[in-house]
Amino acid sequence: MFSFGFVSVAIYGDQEKPVLITYLDLALNHMSCFQGLFLCPQAFSLLFHNFCIYHISPPGHELGAATMSYNDPLLSVDDLAD
């Protein structure tokens, strides 16, 4: 855990292969952000056969995350990068 919450990482593929890291746009999770890319047959074949994919989700963006309230602090892009 870091000062803003937990970071979630979903790992797909053979961890012995080179790593491909994704970091999603704000207000999305890795499924909604990268679904179009990874459902494309050509991309699926290329990426999943050649890489181990690490989808990094910042706090509150993981699958099943609770809805934010208006009282929750908003994280800036700099906060998320830290």
Mean pLDDT of successive 10-residue segments in the chain (82 residues)? 70 92 73 76 84 84 74 74 70
Place of tokens 């990874």: 38
| The 52-57 sheet, strands edge to edge | 8-12, 52-57, 19-23
- What local confidence, expressed as pLDDT, does residue 50 receive? 92
Q: What are the residue ranges spanned by the domains of the chain?
A: 1-60
pTM of model > 0.75: no
